[in-house]
Amino acid sequence: MGVVQTDQMVLNIGPQHPSTHGVLRLEVMTDGEIVSQIKPHLGYLHRCFEKHSENVTYEQVIPFTDRCDYLASMNSNFGYVVTMEELMEIKVSDRVEYIRVIMGELNRIASHLLALGVYGLDIGAFTPFLYMLRDRERILDMFEYTCGARLLYNYMWVGGVSHDLPKDFEKICIGFLDYFEPQIEEYNNLLTYNKIFIERTADVGVIPADVAISYGVSGPNLRGSGVNWDVRKDEPYSIYDRFEFDVPIGEGKFGTLGDCFDRYWVRMLEIKESVRILRQALKDLPSGDVHQALPKKIRPPKGSIYRRTESPRGDLGYYIISDGSPIPSRVKMRSPAFTALSCLDEVSKGWMISDVIAILGSLDIVLGEIDR
C-alpha cells in the first residue's frame, strides 16, 4: 500500500453556525480533521460604535457601550463612566461607587455563567447550560427590578447611576447569593469533574504565558495562563481597593498550564470571588444620593485619557479625546475579546475541528465587542 495522498480543504465555520458565539466566520484550512490554519473574518456585527460616538454627546455614548459587550453591559458602562469621571476630575458619592461595584460584579457573574454554560454546550453537554441560564435569570431579574432593563441597561451615568437601588434590593441580593453559592458545587459535579469534559479540555489549546502576553490577551484568558494580572487589583479603579478578594490564576489543574480547562476553571473561581466582593459591598453599602449636580451638557476640559477596567472578558479600555465641546472628538474602545481572538490561529494549529470549537469557546468572545 502506498502513502495516502491527502489534500487541504477550506472549511467555512460560520457566519451561521451554532457555536461561533455570534456572527463570526472562521476560514479553516483542514486536512481531514486536523486544522492547519484559521483566518477569522470579522465585521458581521459592525455598528460603527466609535464613529457614532463622534456625533453624539458624552452621555449619549453610554447606550452604545451597552451594545458592545451585550453580555456585560454594566461593565461596559462602568468602564466608560470611570474614564469620563477621571477626565472631568469628578468624585462621585460613596453610595454610587458601591452600587456600581455591586452591579458590575453581578454582571460579571451573569456573564461568566453564560460563558461557562455555553462552553458546556460547545463540548456537548446540554444540561449545565440550562442550569446556569436559570441562575443568570435571577440576576437579570434583579437588574430589571433596579433599572427596568434586562440586557442593555444604560444604568451608569457620568456622575451617578440612573436609578437608586430599590428599598429591598439588599435583601433580594443576599437571598440570591445564599441560593447561588451552593449551586456552584452543583455545576462542578455535573460538568467540571466529568471525565469526558476533562478529557476534552485539559491539555487542549495551551496558551503559554509569553504568547498570551505578546498577543495582548487579558482577563480570565491571561490568568488561565498563570499570569497574575487583574486591573481591579493592580490598577484599582472605583473602590475596588476597599474589598478583599483573590485573583484566581490557572495552575494546570488537570493538564498543562494555560489549557482550555484552566481558562474555564479561572472563570468558575472568579464567580466565587465576585460573590465575596458582593457580600462585602452589600454589608458596607452607605446611604446617600445617587445623582450628582452636573451641567446639562457635559463639557470635559480639553485633553485625552486612557483608562482600563476589568470587564468579564479582560482589560476593557477607553481612550477619549475631548476638544472642550459637548461632543467627544474621539472615543476608542480597547476590546479584550478582539485581542483574545487574535491568538486563535496560533493556539489552534494542529488541533482537530472539535478542539477549535473548544478553544474558541474557552476564549469567551462576544462578537458585539469584537466588531463594535
Partner 1 sequence: MTVDFLIDWFSTIGNFPILAFILAVVISGIPLFLFMALNAMVAVYAERKVSAFMMDRIGPMGQGPGLHAGKWGLLQTVADAIKLLVKEDTIPQTSDKLLFKMAPFIIFIGAFLGLAAVPFNSSLQVVDFNVGVFYIIAVGSIGVIGIVMAGWSSNNKWSLYGAMRSAAQIISYEIPAGLSIIIPIMMAGTMNLQTMIQFQSGSIWGILPNWIIFNNPFTFLAFFIFFISAVAETNRTPFDIPEAESELVAGWMTEYSGFRWAVFFLSEYANMFVVSGLAVAGFLGGWQSPIPGMFDSAGWGLFWFMVKVIFLIFLMMWFRWTFPRLRVDQLMHVCWKVFIPIAMFNIFGVGIWKLIIG
**In this complex, which beta carbon is closest to partner 1, that of residue 33 or of residue 144?**
33
Strand partners, 39: 27
| Number of continuous H segments (helices) and E segments (strands) in the chain | 15, 8
**In this complex, which beta carbon is closest to partner 1, that of residue 102 or of residue 356?**
356
**In this complex, which beta carbon is closest to partner 1, that of residue 257 or of residue 353?**
353
**In this complex, which beta carbon is closest to partner 1, that of residue 14 or of residue 368?**
14
Q: Order of strands across the sheet with 34-41?
A: 9-13, 25-31, 34-41
Distance CA 314, CA 287 (A): 31
In the bound complex, what is the minimum distance in angstroms from residue 351's beta carbon to partner 1?
10
In the bound complex, what is the minimum distance in angstroms from residue 181's beta carbon to partner 1?
18
**In this complex, which beta carbon is closest to partner 1, that of residue 197 or of residue 229?**
197
In the bound complex, what is the minimum distance in angstroms from residue 112's beta carbon to partner 1?
19
Q: Is the dihedral of CA 83, 89, 95, 96 positive or negative?
A: negative
**In this complex, which beta carbon is closest to partner 1, that of residue 11 or of residue 327?**
11
Grid cell at residue 249: 490564576
In the bound complex, what is the minimum distance in angstroms from residue 29's beta carbon to partner 1?
12
Q: How many CB atoms lie within 10 A of CB 63?
A: 14
Residue 282 three-state SS: helix
In the bound complex, what is the minimum distance in angstroms from residue 32's beta carbon to partner 1?
8
Strand partners, 156: 161
Burial 302-338 (b: 16+ CB within 10 A, else e): eeeeebbbbbbbbbbbbbbbbeeebbbeebbbbbbbb
Interface with partner 1 by CB under 8 A: which residues?
9, 11, 17-19, 33, 120-127, 130-131, 134, 190-191, 194, 196-197, 199-200, 352-355, 357
**Residue 231 in contact with residue 329, Cβ under 8 Å?**
no
**In this complex, which beta carbon is closest to partner 1, that of residue 168 or of residue 185?**
185
In the bound complex, what is the minimum distance in angstroms from residue 126's beta carbon to partner 1?
6
In the bound complex, what is the minimum distance in angstroms from residue 269's beta carbon to partner 1?
20
Q: Give the E-state strand segments of 195-349 in sequence order.
A: 303-311, 314-322, 330-334
Q: Which residues contact 84 (CB under 8 A, 6 or more apart)?
A: 58, 158, 298, 300, 320
